[in-house]
Amino acid sequence: MLRPLMIKNTRNLLLLAVGILIGLSLGLAHGVLAEKPEALGQDLPWQDARLLAEVLERVEREYVDPVDDHQLLQAAIRGMVSSLDPYSAYLDGDEYDEIKISSSGQYSGVGIEVSMQDGQVVVVAPFEGSPAAEAGIRSGDVIAAIDGVAVNTTTLADTIGRMRGKEGTAVKIEILREGRTEPLQFTLRRSRVQLRSVKAEMPEAGFGYVRIAQFSETTGDELINALRSLRKSNGAPLKGLVLDLRDNPGGVLEAAVAVADAFLDGGVIVSAKGRTPDSKFEMNATPGDELDGAPIVVLVNGGSASAAEIVAGALKDHHRATLMGRTTFGKGSVQTVMPLSGDRAIKLTTSLYYTPSGVSINHRGIAPDIELERDPNPPSVPPPADAPLLQRDAQVKRALQELKVPTVGARGGLSAATR
pTM: 0.76
SS3 340: strand
Residues of the chain with CATH 2.30.42.10: 106-194
Helices and strands in the chain, H and E counts: 11, 21
Q: Which of 197, 204, 250, 199 is nearest to 390 (CA)?
A: 204
For domain 106-194, the CATH superfamily is PDZ domain (2.30.42.10)
pLDDT for 9 = 46
Q: Report the candidate in 237, 210, 239 with the shortest Cα–Cα distance to residue 224.
A: 210
Domain formed by 198-374+385-415, architecture: Alpha-Beta Complex (3.90)
- 316 vs 415: which has the higher pLDDT: 316
Q: What is the mean pLDDT of residues 402-416?
A: 56
**Mean pLDDT in the chain?**
84
| Residue whose C-alpha is closest to residue 198's, from 85, 311, 292, 295 | 311
pLDDT in tens, 13-66: 444 554 544 444 444 434 433 344 444 345 557 788 888 888 888 998 999 999
Question: What is the reported pLDDT for 10?
Answer: 44
Number of Cβ within a 10 Å radius of residue 62: 8
Q: Rounded distance, CA 227 to CA 292, Å?
A: 12
Active-site residue list:
306, 317, 331
Domain with CATH 3.90.226.10 in the chain: 198-374+385-415
CB 105 within 8 A of CB 137: no
What confidence tier does 418 reach under pLDDT thresholds 50, 70, 90? very low
Residue of 51 and 261 predicted with greater confidence: 261
- pLDDT of 16 reads 52
Residue 302, judged by CB atoms within 10 A of its CB (0-12, 13-18, 19+), counts as middle
Amino acid (one-letter) located at 394: A
Share of the chain above pLDDT 90, in %: 56
What's the pLDDT score for residue 26? 41
User: What is the 8-class DSSP label of residue 277?
Assistant: G
- What pLDDT, in 10s, does the model give residues 173-196? 999 998 899 999 999 999 988 778
